[in-house]
Structure 1
Amino acid sequence: MLIENDLAPRTDKPLLKLSKISKNFGAVSALTDIDLDVYAGEVVALVGDNGAGKSTLVKILAGVHQPTSGMVEFEGELISLDTPGKALEYGISTVFQDLALCENLDVVANLFLGHELSAWQLDEVTMEVRAWTLLKELAARIPSVREPVASLSGGQRQTVAIARSLLLNPKIIMLDEPTAALGVAQTAEVLNLIERVRERGLGVIIISHNMEDVRAVADRIVVLRLGRNKGIFTPESTNQELVAAITGATENSVSRRVERKTTEHTLGAN
């Protein structure tokens, strides 16, 4: 269901507000006049075909790219995300698809990599306690915080990457294809983790090609096509509606399949 024009305005202010964000790479326009609001305690899904501008938008929010034009507001203040460090300072954390984990190190070392607690030496005990506490709060299925990351499943690695970003106490976390290449059980584990992150009051942005995963956890689904906004949808939206918005074609394999099943059902009833 398209809600862009029917959604009642919220009285609370968004954590993050993008207004007319555009990004050009030379003569190529990657994003044009993108608007996006993200509120505390909600999951917003960004969906779109390859080349829709999802990755470019995420990199702008992560401080990797700077917009050519437009405004970024965080907690009501106009900000400039000119470096990845600045994005982290504001509380915007990103878990990219490659996760950036060190497989030869254990879970604790990966969680605190670059943020080790130390005086004259590493405080291993405190780091281990904090690691266990956080993972228990997330109900993470990690056998041991001293387990090498190389021995963990895909879902467990995603959990470690998300937990690492939470140690910096972000207010918004962005997840790039968090369930890509995961099995059914591992996908369910990650989706449950996303819901627990939302329950902590964070704003969550997920980028995914999997419509079932998106509908399972998202509060709103924002469609990008060729670098432009193409609608905001509810989780109750059908695959037919989403595919039509993503591709720009109302006639596609999904719509034909739905029509065929409807016709078969009608004929069977008669």
Structure 2
Amino acid sequence: MDRPIIELQHTTKSFGPVKVLKGINLTAYAGHVTALVGDNGAGKSTLIKGLSGVQPYDGGTVLFDGETVNIHHPREASRLGIEVVYQDLALCDNLDIVQNMFLGREETSGATFEEGDMEVQAAAALQSLNVRTVESLHQKVASLSGGQRQTVAIARSVVKQAKVVILDEPTAALGVAQTEQVLNLVRRLADSGVAVIIVSHNLQDVFKVADEINVLYLGTLTARLKTSDTNPNDVVGYITGTKTMEEVAS
């Protein structure tokens, strides 16, 4: 707990003359849920794309488990143990749960798939997260609800033995019951020792599951707050720019 699994130091990113990230410092710890909030255009997507290797940062330092790393491609992020679950989930409707969880990294023996081994690993991943809403591992993803799809996407990161899981708006377009199911899953994922970074516009969800809230405003990290020490009104103030950390210090 003394050392973060992920630490960004003065990270920057520009697109032409537009400075999107202006020297961001961010930490994420194993076993914790770290929330990243901010209005549209604050830089949240750019920040996580840098961590995932999709759009490498222009400057700054990225530390992974205390070691300086360079992440220039998603494969490099994956090798470190960083997995991203985007809003679209990247699932194939025509494949079943096991096939989706191992898509692109199938277990093989010679020229054949080790379907039995993959099924065992998929079942173990779901069991480790205490998932009980899936009737069969051979259900086609097309037949699953939104909450169940999110469950499969998160469990896929467990199969990949991720150390850091970044969730991009994981409860978007979900109903009340499905949202509760996914938030419980996020908490269990962190409790298993994974560092979870959750990007969300829904402050109610953030306050239910996050240990720490980081607020981005126009490419600057304006607040880093323990969830237990703040409230939604203060966070909204930071998001809209009407409140600053200098005001808190004074």
TM-score by length of 2: 0.94
- Written as runs of structure 1 = structure 2, the 5 A alignment for 1:90-239 is 90-120=80-110, 121-140=112-131, 141-236=133-228, 237-239=230-232
Stretch of structure 1 that moved more, 176-185 or 113-122: 113-122
What are the Cα deviations for residues 159-197 of structure 1, in whole angstroms up to 9, with x where unaligned?
A: 001111221111100000000000000000000100110
| Residue 232 of structure 2 corresponds to residue 242 of structure 1 | no
Partner of 1:25 in structure 2? Answer: 15
Looking at structure 2, the residues matched to 57 and 166 of structure 1 have their Cα atoms a distance apart, in angstroms, of: 23
What are the Cα deviations for residues 181-216 of structure 1, in whole angstroms up to 9, with x where unaligned?
A: 000000000001001101110100000000010010
Stretch of structure 1 that moved more, 235-244 or 156-165: 235-244
Stretch of structure 1 that moved more, 136-145 or 50-59: 136-145
Looking at structure 1, the residues matched to 129 and 66 of structure 2 have their Cα atoms a distance apart, in angstroms, of: 29
Stretch of structure 1 that moved more, 83-92 or 234-243: 234-243
The amino acid that maps onto 1:138 is L
Q: CA RMSD in A?
A: 1.0
Looking at structure 2, the residues matched to 16 and 129 of structure 1 have their Cα atoms a distance apart, in angstroms, of: 30
| Residue 65 of structure 2 corresponds to residue 75 of structure 1 | yes
What are the Cα deviations for residues 7-57 of structure 1, in whole angstroms up to 9, with x where unaligned?
A: xxxx71111110000101110111001000111110100000000000000
What fraction of aligned residue pairs are identical, expressed as a percent?
Answer: 50
Unaligned runs of 5+ in 1: 1-10, 251-270
- How many aligned positions are there? 240
How far off its partner does 1:142 sit?
0.9
The amino acid that maps onto 2:123 is W
Equivalent position SS for 2:109 = coil
What are the Cα deviations for residues 118-140 of structure 1, in whole angstroms up to 9, with x where unaligned?
A: 11211111111211121122111
| Residue 38 of structure 2 corresponds to residue 45 of structure 1 | no
Looking at structure 1, the residues matched to 155 and 2 of structure 2 have their Cα atoms a distance apart, in angstroms, of: 28
- Written as runs of structure 1 = structure 2, the 5 A alignment for 1:2-21 is 12-21=2-11
Maintained 8 Å contact 1:216/1:235: no
The amino acid that maps onto 2:198 is I
Equivalent position SS for 1:101 = coil
How far off its partner does 1:249 sit?
2.5
- Structure with higher Rg: it is 1
Looking at structure 2, the residues matched to 44 and 157 of structure 1 have their Cα atoms a distance apart, in angstroms, of: 22
What are the Cα deviations for residues 75-121 of structure 1, in whole angstroms up to 9, with x where unaligned?
A: 11110001000001111111111000000111011011111111121
TM-score by length of 1: 0.87
Unaligned runs of 5+ in 2: 244-250
The amino acid that maps onto 1:242 is V
